[in-house]
Chains A and B, each alone.
Chain A
Amino acid sequence: MIYLDNAATTRPLDGALARAKTYLTDCYFNPSALYHGGVEAHRFLSEARSALLSRIADPALFDLIFTSCGTESDNQAIFGAGRRGNVVTTAGEHAAIYESCKELKNRGVEPRFAPLHADGSVDVEELLSLVDEKTSLVSVIHVSNETGAVNDIAAIAKRVKQKNPRTVFHSDGVQAFGKLPVRLTKDIDLYTISAHKIGALKGTGALIRRKAYTALPAYLHGGGQENGLRSGTENVFGIACFRYAAEEKFASLQEDAKRLAAYKEQFWSLLDRALFTRLSPVGGSPYILTVSAHGKRGETLQRMLWDQGVAVGTGSACNSKKPHSRVLAACGYAPEVLDGVLRVSFCPQTTQEEVFLAAEAMNEAVRAFGGV
C-alpha cells in the first residue's frame, strides 16, 4: 500500500508508540491522583506540554490546552472568543471552523467569510475590509487542507490587530504543525494543532493560547483539568504519542520539507498534463499536491486507485446532495474541475519510488476510466 492521504491522517510512528507505551501499561494513573503514580503522570503531562509548546511558541508567553482533537480546539476557539458582534473568517476553512461559524448565527453573532484566491489562500485585503470595531474574533486557516496554500498568519494577525486591537486572532494550524517552520507571534491569541496528522493518534489535539488572552472561557466543565479550561481526565498515552511524534518530526522538519517539496514537483511532472490540472500553488505546503482529472469523478478514481494499492484523497466525499468541495468551489473552479479532484498528501516516510509508482497509477486510472 502506497499511502498518500497523509493530510487525512497519518500512520502512527512506531518509535513514538514504543516510547509512549509505558503510559498505557505502567503509568496509567489518573494525573489528578495524589499518590506517587498520579503525580508522575501529572509531571509527564507538564513536560509534554512544554515540549510541544516550545516547538512553535515561547512558553513564557503561551500555554497549551490538551483537547480531544483539532475540531474540539477549533470549537473552543470559535465559541469561546466569538461571543459578540461579528466573527471574520475565510471561505477556505476546515469544516470545524466553517460550520462552527455558521452556528454562530443562531447565537446572535454574525459570521463573515472572506473570499479566496484561486490557489485557496485568503484574499487578505478583503478579509481586512470585513474587520471592524465589532469584530470579536478573526480565524484564518494556516495551511489549506485542500490545496496546501499557506496563509501568512503572522502578517494577517498583525494587520487585524492594527485595525482592531481588541479582536482575538485564531488560526487552525492542523496542517502546519510539525510540517512547516512555525513561530507564533504576540498577535496570535489562539492556535489549533492535532496529533494524528503528524504520526501520533486520533483523539488528541491541543489549543495553544497566548497567556495574556485571559478571557477564554472553559469549554468542558468538570474536574478543572487543563487549568480549568478543559475538564476531563487527560489522555496521557495519546499525549505521550503526540510529544514523541512531534520530537521525531521536528528533528528533521527542514530537511523533510525540502525533500518533499522536490517530490511534490516531481509528482506533478510525472502526471500526464493532458489528463490533470494542478490546483495546488507553487510554493505552498510541500506536503499537499491537489490536482483535478477534469471531467472524471475523483471519488471513482480514488476507489480505482485503492484497488491498485494507492490511497489518495478527494476534494470531499462525493454524493448527490453535496457534489463538490466547498473550499475548491470558493476558489472559483468550474464544476468539471471540481468533479475530478484528487489530493495527494505526503509524509516524511514517502519514498521516491512511491512517487513514481503512484503518479503512474494515477495516469493509468484516468486512462482506464470508462464511465462518466
Chain B
Amino acid sequence: MEKVVIVRYAEIHLKGKNRGYFERVFCVNLEKALKGLRHELRRTSGRYLIAAFDDADADEILDRVSRVFGVHSYSLGYRVPSDLDSVFAAARTVCPQSGTFKVETHRADKRYPMTSLEISAAIGGRLLDANPALRVDVHSPQHTVYLDIREDGTALVFGTFEEGAGGMPVGTSSKGLLLISGGIDSPVAGYMMAKRGMEVEYLHFHSYPYTNEQAKDKVVELARILSRYAGGEALATVKVTHIQEEIHKKCAPELNVTLLRRFMFRIAERVAKKKGAKCLITGESLGQVASQTMEGITSSNAVVTLPVLRPLIGFDKEEIIVRAKKIGTFDTSVLPYEDCCTVFLPEFPAIKPKLSFIEEEERKLDVEGLVEEALTTLERISIH
C-alpha cells in the first residue's frame, strides 16, 4: 500500500494543441512547489501522482499543492494492486470508523472482471461486514470512499476531494510587474493575475527616510507570501523620496498623489521592460481613494504604453479583504507602517484632476531627470 497524493488539473485539458506546453509548465511548477521534500512526481493519464514521500511530510505536501495554480483538486490516498483484497485493505484505511458512507468506483481498466457498480457493492459490503458502526447511504452519505481502477493493474483509493487553487499554471500567461505597496489590495491583485497563469515580478516604491525600514520588510514579507502562489525570486525597490520632495515643494498640494503615481508608472514601465514584463499590475479599485477615480486612472495611464491590469477594479474593499485573508497576506498588510503614499498626503487630494492641470503642474518638474535619478536607487531584495 503506497501513500500518494493525487493531483488533478483544471483548465489545461481545454488547451488543444498547446496542451503539452501547459502540462510541462504545470509539472515544473509542481516540482518547484515540492522542492526540498523527498518525493516522486509521476504523470498518469489526466492526473499526477506524488509518491515516495515521507509520511511526516504529507500535510506539508498537501499544503503546498493547494497553492499551485492549475490544480483542480487533490486527494491524499493509496495506490494498491487492483485485486479486491488489496483495494479493500486500502478502503478500510480511508473509511471513517462510523457514520454513513458510500463507495464510488471509476473503472478506467475496462478489462477488469467486474463493473464499477459490482466493485462498489463488493467493497461496500466488506466494509459493512468489518465495521457494524457504518451504514450505507448512497444518496447523501457523510463519507465517500473513492476507488479508481487504473489500466496498469493498480487502483487509487482515497476518501476526500480537496479543492485546488484552480486557474492556469503560472508562467503560461506571460509576465507582469506588480506595483506592491504594503497595503491590503496589491498582493491580492498579484494573486489574481497569477491565478490566470501570469508570472509576477514585484516592484515597491519607498520614501526613506520618511518611511521606515520596517515598512520595506513588511513588503518583502508580503512578496514572500505571494510568491508561494505567484512565483518570483526578488522584490525590486525604488526610492521616490526626492520626487516627493520636489512635488511637495513645487506643485499644487492637491495633486501630490496624482503626480507621484504618474512618476511611479513611468518608473515601473522602465523596470518592467528591463525584466521582460509585458504589463503593469496594480491593486486599484474604482473609487476607493482619491487617486483611483476614472480621472486618476486616466492620468496615470497617460504616461505609459504598457497595458495596466487592475484585476480588483470592480471589487469592494470587503471582497478584497476576504481574499487577502484567504491568501494569507492580510495580517501582514495591516501592520501599522506607513508607505510612501501616506507620508506626503495632502489634506484635500484632488478627486477629479483635469489632465491639462496635471500636465501644467508637472512642467514645473524635471520629469526625466527625476525618473532617471530614481532608477539609480533600484535595489533587488531576495524574498526567499
Contacts and interface: CB of A to CB of B under 8 A. Distances in A.
B283 to A, nearest CB: 19
A303 B207 CA distance: 12
A371 B245 CA distance: 6
A169 B210 CA distance: 43
B252 to A, nearest CB: 15
Contact of B337 (A307, A319, A371): A319
Given A297-B210, A303-B208, A304-B209, A319 B338 contact: yes
Contacts of A307: 209
Contact of A320 (B208, B210, B342): B342
Q: Most B CB atoms within 10 A — which of A307, A319, A371?
A: A371
Contacts of B338: 319-320
Interface in A152-176: none
B343 interface: yes
B111 interface: no
Interface string A295-325: 0010110011001000000000001111000
Interface in B199-239: 208-210, 212
Contact of B209 (A300, A319, A321): A300
A170 to B, nearest CB: 32
B212 A371 contact: no
A347 to B, nearest CB: 25
Contacts of A372: 248, 343-344
Contacts of B343: 371-372
Given A300-B209, A300-B210, A370 B245 contact: yes
A299 B336 CA distance: 14
A307 B244 CA distance: 19
Contact of B336 (A297, A321, A370): A321
A299 B215 CA distance: 13
Interface residues of A, number: 13
A201 B337 CA distance: 29
Contacts of B210: 297, 300, 371
Contacts of A322: 336
Contact of A299 (B212, B244, B245, B342): B212
B336 A303 contact: no
Contact of B244 (A319, A321, A371): A371
Contacts of B212: 299, 303
Nearest to A370: B245
Contacts of B17: none
Nearest to A297: B210
Nearest to A322: B336
A370 B249 contact: yes
A120 to B, nearest CB: 26
A370 B212 CA distance: 16
B263 to A, nearest CB: 16
B248 A303 contact: no
A205 B131 CA distance: 63
A358 B336 CA distance: 30
Contacts of A304: 209
Interface in B156-211: 208-210
B169 to A, nearest CB: 39
17 contacts: A299-B212, A300-B209, A303-B209, A307-B209, A319-B336, A319-B338, A320-B336, A320-B342, A321-B336, A322-B336, A370-B245, A370-B248, A371-B210, A371-B343, A371-B344, A372-B248, A372-B344
Interface of A: 297, 299-300, 303-304, 307, 319-322, 370-372
Interface of B: 208-210, 212, 244-245, 248-249, 336-338, 342-344
Given A320-B336, A371-B244, A372-B344, 7 more contacts: A299-B212, A303-B208, A321-B336, A322-B336, A370-B248, A371-B210, A371-B248
Closest 4 CB pairs of A and B: A303-B209, A370-B245, A319-B336, A321-B336
